[in-house]
Amino acid sequence: MTEEHRFPCDVCGADMRFEPSTGALNCDHCGAVETIDVSPWDSGAIKEMDFDRAIAANVPESDMEEVRVTKCENCGAQVEFHDEDHATECPFCATPVVIGTGVHRHIKPRGVLPFALTEKQGRTAMTDWLGRLWFAPNGLKKYARAGRQLQGIYVPYWTYDADTKSKYRGKRGTIYYVTKTVRVMVDGKPQTRTKQVQKIRWTPVSGRVARFFDDVLVLASTSLPKKYTDALAPWDLSALEPYNAEYLAGFRAEGYSVDLETGYTEAREIMRRRIVRDVKFDIGGDRQQIDHLETAVKDVTFKHVLLPVWMAAYKYRGKTYRFVVNAQTGSVKGERPYSAWKIAFAAITAAIVAAIIAAIYYNTQ
C-alpha cells in the first residue's frame, strides 16, 4: 500500500497538520483543532521486533509497508511525497527533483518522536547558531534569515537491544616510583641530583562482565553527513510514542537507506566500545591492558523509529549549505561556511597588531 499521511479537516476538508506547540492536529484554513486519536492498544510500551527473524526475511506482512518515495540523484535521499506533488526540491540538498512513481518497501516504524519545536523556534535556533560563526559570509546569514521556511523531516533510525556477557583476560597495571640518581650540569659544573621515575607493575587478571543494551541508536539514513546527525544527540527516547501517522501530518518522512543488518554492525561496534570500558573498570588499577575479549550476544531485538529534524538547505554562490536542528532539544549542526575576505581581514589585523606590539617592545629596550 501507499501511505500518504494526509488528514482532511472535518470542518472544511483542507489538509490538517501536526502542531508541535499543542500536540494536536491544526487546520490552517479554518482554525479547527483535533486531538490525536490514541487507541488503547497503542498507549503501552513500544514493542520490539526479533532481529534474527527479520534477518531471515521472516517479518510478518503486517509489519511491512510500501511508501511512495522519490530518490534524489544528488544526495541519495529517499523522501516521501504526496500524490499532488509533481516537482520540488530535495529537502536535504536543495537539488530540484521531479516526483517519480517508485515505492519503498520497508519495515514499518514502531515509534515516532513527535516534533516538540515549532518551525519558528527551529529557525531561531538556526539563526542564533549562524550568528555565532565568526567567519561565515554575511550574505549567507542574511539569506538564511530571510529565506524560506525550514523543512520538517522525520529521519529514520534503528534501535537495538541486546543481552551481552563477556569474558576477558588481561593485565592490571599499578604505578609505582623509584628514586634514580642522575648527573646534571649547573652553571657549567656537574652536580648529582635525584629524581622520581615512574614504573608500572603488571599483574595478570581475568574476569567476566555483563551488560544489557537498551535502545542503541543508529542512523538509518545516508542523506546527511553522519557527523552532523550524531552531533544532534542526545535524544530523549523515553518520549517516543507508538507510531501514529497523524504525527506526520504536515511533515515529510525519509525512508531508511541503511538496512537492518548494516545498522546492527554499527550497533555492535557501539556495544563493543561500551564493553571495553566496562572491562577496564572491572580490571581496575592505574592502567589496564586487554589481551583477549570474547562476548556472547543473545536476545537481540530492534525497532524502526522516526526522529524529528528541522532542516534548511541553502544554495549560496553555487554551493549548498545544510543545517539541521534537533526538533526536540533545539541543538544545531551544519556545514560551516567560511568568508575568504573575513579570514584575510582577520589575518591582516593580527599582523598589524603583532607589528605594533613588536615596535612598542623594541622602543622600550
Calpha distance 134→121 (Å, rounded): 22
Given this model, what pLDDT does residue 40 score? Answer: 46
Given this model, what pLDDT does residue 312 score? Answer: 82
| The residue type at 47 | K
CB contact at 8 A, 327 and 117: yes
Compute the radius of gyration of the chain from its Cα atoms: 28
CB contact at 8 A, 49 and 63: yes
What is the DSSP-derived secondary structure letter of residue 255?
P
Over pLDDT 70: what percentage of the chain?
74
Calpha distance 318→313 (Å, rounded): 12
Calpha distance 198→182 (Å, rounded): 15
Strand bridging mode 24-26 / 78-80: unpaired
Given this model, what pLDDT does residue 159 score? Answer: 97
Among all chains, which residue has been given the C-alpha cell 490538517? 16
Among all chains, which residue has been given the C-alpha cell 492536529? 25
| The residue type at 289 | Q
Given this model, what pLDDT does residue 230 score? Answer: 84
Element (H, E) at 70: strand 64-71
Residues 6+ apart with CB under 8 A from 205: 169, 170, 171, 172, 283
Given this model, what pLDDT does residue 3 score? Answer: 41
> Helix, strand or coil for residue 126?
helix
Given this model, what pLDDT does residue 133 score? Answer: 56
Residue 36 sits at φ, ψ, to 5 deg, of -80, 130
> Helix, strand or coil for residue 286?
coil
Calpha distance 217→235 (Å, rounded): 9
Given this model, what pLDDT does residue 185 score? Answer: 82
Please give the grid coordinates belonging to residue 151. Answer: 523543512
CB contact at 8 A, 68 and 101: yes
- Report the Cα–Cα distance between both ends of the chain, in Å, rounded: 85
Tell me the per-residue pLDDT of 291-350, one tens digit each, with 9 for 90 and over: 999 999 999 999 999 999 998 877 666 777 788 899 999 998 877 555 444 445 455 665
Residues 6+ apart with CB under 8 A from 355: none
Calpha distance 298→213 (Å, rounded): 11
Long-range pairs for 28-32 at CB < 8 Å and ≥24 separation? none
C-alpha dihedral sign at 157, 163, 168, 172: positive
With a cut of 70, which residues of the chain have pLDDT below it? Answer: 1-5, 38-44, 76, 79-89, 93-94, 97-103, 131-148, 315-317, 336-365
Calpha distance 35→18 (Å, rounded): 10
Tell me the per-residue pLDDT of 259-307, one tens digit each, with 9 for 90 and over: 999 999 999 999 999 999 999 999 999 999 999 999 999 999 999 999 9
